[in-house]
């Protein structure tokens, strides 16, 4: 069955990401030989996702975003999944694949929902008026969101954290944005919303909410939010899987029989 | 990019599992219209894996195997993985995929290793001598395995259980085999090995070891061992994922911060 | 780090699926020793998912459902994913996990959507009137669905097939239901809807639509639809992964460079 | 079942990766507030995997490695898996998880095997002699490997490419190493081996082989090889999944029925 090659019809696969020729690989228009020598990895991420090299300012901001996602210890379900699977003796790519599968609606979903929320609100103004958005408009959008969510008892995506009152990553990201004047319309909206929600409910932006605003100002489509999060978090997941493999040589026993309550 | 069909070259895909024509589906030579009406699901599993319908005796035995794999409560890493991923809000197929990834060397791997062990030993005799294997030969193979594993401090695949002294599934399967005379050479070898190991070490066959012998007598390739296990276990994993989804409406908090010891 | 056991707090895990004690395993109230000896595998699936043993009639019908899902050759993305991953040299559980991940909205999602549709329509009548549903009511529900979907240009879940005009599995399942009088309200609704859609659009029920009706009459929650589908399809996926592994010994080359069109 | 928290026993989870306290997150000894502001993402990856910040030279080299893994178009099975799963309508994390599962023995496995090979050879000399390794020793190790693999008809891990005669990434990486004098013992060994294999067989290092040598000189454990590869490749996989989702709005038909040859 050697000829069973799953070969594809000529020209049946189209892509704008990378052109591969014999002995030559060109990604987003750049020869990989040049990219290897000259581009920072974080800029490479921006380039491959957005199709263009970031400006110096974009490069700095995008680097903050990626670093801020790096790890949250053993507490998230994704990290625990990576460790559980590793402990069963499966290879590291299986452990990491399982971890990614734990980025469900309730775990990593908030970033895309927050990006959609901010972008739909900002876009609603752009549609009416293409001059710059003023602070009064931002304030009224924040009130609009507050009324649509908090007043109706719905959780605002990107706010609150199970372990922190002040998520230090969100706090730092917003501090950097303010100090450096990185205040595009989506960040302004996130900050205005935070002021409102904090004054009434004592809840602040979390790392997803802060990055949703930043990535929106950088022009990222909400559909790429989880992707950027995965890129940032992958190194942490690998560190945990590796730690589990190295420090643990037996098949763990995850519970004792009397840890379990039978309800049948 | 509508024509981007990943289409395959004519005749580039070959398969002996199922022929699909317009309005007709034929699996392992049987029209699916007939299979739907006439075959038991457990026989369908046998048919699609082995390429032929089982005999009545094989059908009964294979059904025991599948049922015996159904569930072991919340204790295995695979079940805990299914529940962790479900709890994050991911869809059920993601939760089950993650669970399958937990069938690593230390979890589900034993069945294939035990099949390889029994089959290589039995085959070593067939090579020399194609008459029936007598009990003396079986006994000496059991001693051979005992010396290669227990004497050298290596764990024999398919023996011992983290929670049970007598794995009730293995015990029942072997009881049925003995009572009904289902005593092919691999089951005989497993039983002889169990006698030896139990007399010296007080350790018995587990569900993997018992089924490894049965599946070997049924003519299954070791490479299909984990596959049969997955088929048997899938319903249990789905029941757990469903239970988790139904009974749990919030994003779980899997640990408190002081549950974790930082070693850095 | 031997004590690092991920152990769970006493009584922190609750389940009604299986109680595990030392040397004893009880699933849905039945000792597994008894289940192994006495229950058919298809009934075991019903028991573990629904919490009770099926009636004789339910047992027969549920077996048809499971068999009907067994395989559709190499055409579905899930099967191709299983083969791609196998071909890379990954273990079979990874290949099958990847295949399950291909059961997205457009592939296996139809069964749950069709179950929700049929059940919400039938429930809407039960709410008003708890006598038996008469054929007039069924006919008007079918028209309601037709108007909500076809008239508005939306695809009805569970109708039409990419390769078949008449999906032979759906056709056979409905034939069995009619011949044996298995005509609960959801099957009646599916049949009435099919009459209407076929007369106007020449499109018939597919295997997902037929099984959605049958599973609804059997009392299955839509959230279990994909689960039942996965159980039925798993043996086929394993057969394909095994075939790929056995018949192919080199790392396949999946396309030639000139098969790809670069659009950048 | 609100108390069903899968909570872990006090101190049952140990980790040296990240300490999480209320409102404070410390990774590998550094406050994440500081890391977000000051560290490059590629250095963050090094830090979390190795437990220390890289030197300036290490930082530059590690960045080359990460960028060199970014993408190889639609040709690898992992990329095709990501696109297949995306095309079924599954979420992006499922598509990427499936792609990672395609990093099997034949796809991404070479990097770890090459790292083990180089490190075991270099370690064998260190054991005897802890002075610097001289070029004569390197040359004799290269011959040793050549004899163990090529002479015996075995493929050397990290050599040869299905599409390229000269893998431009490996070529560029080795050029940079030579030009800048980044010539640790593992890179020296890889270069000596390449000279030998190329002179006899006209086969050169591929991206896995080149990076295996570089990562070995950077002090990475072979068990982390696939992890580093996954980190480098993830952005490319996400770009492909996103492209597939954006440019394709229907459920693809992956083959025509007459593309398939039935062998039954």
**Which pLDDT tens digit goes with each residue over A147-194?**
999 999 999 999 999 899 999 999 999 999 999 999 999 999 999 999
- From chain A residues 92-131, the ones with a CB under 8 A of any chain B CB are 94-95, 97-98, 101-107, 109
Give domain status of residue D11, yes or no.
Answer: no
- CATH code of the domain covering residue C116: 1.10.230.10
Helix axes B92-101, D92-101, angle to 10 degrees: 20
Residues B161, B137: contact at Cβ < 8 Å? no
Q: Give yes or no: residues B205 and B244 share one domain.
A: no
Interface C-D, measured as beta-carbon pairs within 8 A, has a size of 151
Asked whether residue D208 falls in the same domain as residue D128, the answer is yes
| Rounded-to-integer distance, Cα A223 and Cα A233, Å | 17
Inside any domain, residue B69: no
**B240 lies in a domain?**
yes
Q: Are residues B133 and B168 in the same domain?
A: yes
Say yes or no: B258 contacts chain D, CB-CB below 8 A.
yes
Kindly state whether residue A120 falls inside one of the protein's structural domains: yes
Whether D129 and D196 map to the same domain: the answer is yes
Residues 6+ apart with CB under 8 A from C155: C149
C-chain residues near D91 (CB < 8 A): 104
Domain shared by C100 and C195, yes or no: no
pLDDT digits (tens, 9 = 90+) for C113-123: 999 999 999 99
The answer to whether residue C56 neighbours chain A at the CB level (below 8 Å) is no
Q: Which one of A29, A166, A235, A245 makes the best mutation probe of the D interface by having the most chain D beta carbons within 10 Å?
A: A235
Asked if the C-beta of C84 comes within 8 angstroms of chain D's C-beta atoms, the answer is yes
Residues in contact with D39: Cβ distance below 8 Å, sequence separation at least 6, in sequence order:
A67, D30, D47, D53
Q: Does D262 lie at the interface with B, CB-CB under 8 angstroms?
A: yes
Please give the residue range of the domain that contains residue C211.
110-224
Q: Decide: C94 and D101 in contact? Cβ < 8 Å.
A: yes
For residue D250, list chain C residues with Cβ-Cβ distance below 8 A: 106
| C-alpha A245, offset from chain centre | 26
Q: Inter-chain contact D9–C13, Cβ cutoff 8 Å?
A: no
Residues of chain D positioned with their CB less than 8 A from the CB of A22: 163-165
Q: Report the predicted TM-score, pTM, of the whole model to 2 decimal places.
A: 0.93
The set of residues, in sequence order, having a beta carbon less than 8 Å from that of D56 and lying 6+ positions away, is none
Q: Does D263 touch chain B (CB under 8 A)?
A: yes
Residue B4 within any structural domain of the chain: no
Q: Which ipTM was obtained for this model?
A: 0.93
Of the pLDDT bands very low, low, confident and very high (cuts 50, 70, 90), residue D83 is very high
Nearest CB among A4, A90, A91 relative to C248 is that of A4
Q: Do A7 and B5 touch (CB under 8 A)?
A: no
**What pLDDT does B253 receive?**
64
Tell me the C-alpha distance between C184 and C192, whole Å.
Answer: 12
Burial class of residue C208, CB neighbours in 10 A (0-12, 13-18, 19+):
buried
Residue C62 inside a domain? The answer is no
C246 CB near a chain D CB, below 8 Å?
Answer: no
For residues C163 and C160, what is the distance between their CA atoms, to the nearest angstrom?
Answer: 9
Assess whether D174 and D204 both reside in one domain: yes
Q: Which residues pair with D25 in a beta bridge?
A: D20
User: Nearest by CB to D5, which of B6, B7, B253?
Assistant: B253
- Residues forming beta bridges with residue D159, ordered by sequence position: D205
The helix-helix angle for D109-128 and D135-148 (nearest 10°) equals 130
Pick the residue from chain C with its C-alpha nearest to B41.
C67
pLDDT of chain C, 264 residues: tens digit per residue: 233 444 444 346 789 999 999 999 999 999 999 999 999 999 999 999 999 999 999 999 999 999 999 999 988 989 999 999 998 899 999 999 999 999 987 777 899 999 999 999 999 987 776 677 889 999 999 999 999 999 999 999 999 998 999 999 999 999 999 999 999 999 999 999 999 999 999 999 999 999 999 999 999 999 999 999 999 999 999 999 999 998 755 555 667 777 778 777
Question: Would you say B201 and B149 are in contact if contact means Cβ atoms under 8 Å apart?
Answer: no
Three-state DSSP at A20 gives strand
For residue C262, being part of any structural domain is answered with no
Q: For chain B, how many structural domains are there in total?
A: 3
Nearest-CA residue of chain A relative to D78?
Answer: A93
Tell me, yes or no, whether B13 lies in a domain: no
Residue A127 is encoded by which pair of tokens? 């549609």
The closest alpha carbon to D15, from A72, A165, A235, belongs to A72
Distance from CA of B244 to the nearest CA of D (A): 10
C-beta neighbour count of B253 within 10 angstroms: 13
Rounded Cα distance between D221 and D218, Å, is 9
Q: Are residue A47 and residue A88 in the same domain, yes or no?
A: no
Chain B segment 15-44 residues within 8 A of D by beta carbon are: 15-22, 26, 28-29
Tell me how far CA of residue C256 lies from CA of A7, A185, C252, in angstroms. Answer: 7, 46, 11
pLDDT digits (tens, 9 = 90+) for A77-129: 899 999 999 988 899 999 999 999 999 877 778 999 999 999 999 999 877 76
Tokens of D220: 């990475």
Which residues on C lie below 8 Å from D103 (Cβ)? 88, 90
- Any chain D CB within 8 A of the CB of A203? no
Is B10 within 8 Å of D259 when comparing Cβ atoms?
A: yes
DSSP class per residue in chain D: -TT---PBPTT-EEESSEEEETTEEEETTEEHHHHHHH--HHHHHHHHHHSSPPPHHHHHHHHHHHHHTS-BTB-SHHHHHHHHHHHTT--HHHHHHHHHHT--TTTTHHHHHHHHHHHHHHHHHHHH--SPPPHHHHHHHHHHHHHHTTTTTPPPTTB--SS-SS-HHHHHHHHHHHHHT---HHHHHHHHHHHHHHHHH---B-HHHHHHHHHHHTT--GGGHHHHHHHHHHHHHHHHHHHHHHH--S------GGGEEE--
One domain, residues B182 and B122: yes
């Amino acid at each position: 069955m050697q000829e069973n090659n799953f070969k594809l019809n000529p020209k049946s696969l189209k892509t704008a990401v990378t052109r591969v020729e014999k002995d030559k690989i060109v990604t987003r228009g750049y020869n990989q030989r040049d990219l290897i020598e000259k581009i920072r990895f974080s800029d490479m991420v921006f380039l491959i996702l957005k199709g263009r090299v970031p400006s110096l300012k974009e490069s700095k901001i995008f680097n903050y975003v990626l670093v801020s996602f790096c790890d949250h210890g053993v507490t998230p379900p994704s990290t625990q999944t990576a460790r559980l699977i590793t402990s069963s003796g499966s290879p590291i790519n299986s452990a990491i694949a399982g971890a990614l599968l734990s980025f469900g609606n309730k775990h990593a979903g908030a970033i895309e929902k927050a990006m959609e929320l901010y972008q739909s609100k900002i876009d609603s103004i752009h549609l009416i008026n293409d001059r710059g958005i003023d602070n009064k408009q931002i304030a009224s959008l924040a009130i609009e969101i507050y009324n649509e969510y908090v007043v109706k008892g719905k959780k605002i995506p990107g706010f609150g954290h199970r372990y922190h009152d002040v998520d230090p990553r969100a706090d730092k990201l917003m501090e950097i944005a303010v100090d450096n004047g990185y205040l595009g319309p989506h960040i302004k909206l996130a900050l205005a919303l935070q002021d409102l929600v904090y004054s009434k409910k004592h809840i602040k932006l979390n790392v997803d909410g802060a990055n949703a605003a930043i990535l929106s100002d950088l022009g990222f489509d909400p559909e790429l939010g989880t992707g950027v999060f995965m890129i940032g978090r992958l190194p942490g997941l690998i560190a945990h899987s590796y730690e589990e493999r190295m420090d643990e040589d037996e098949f763990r026993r995850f519970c004792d029989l009397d840890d379990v309550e039978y309800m049948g």
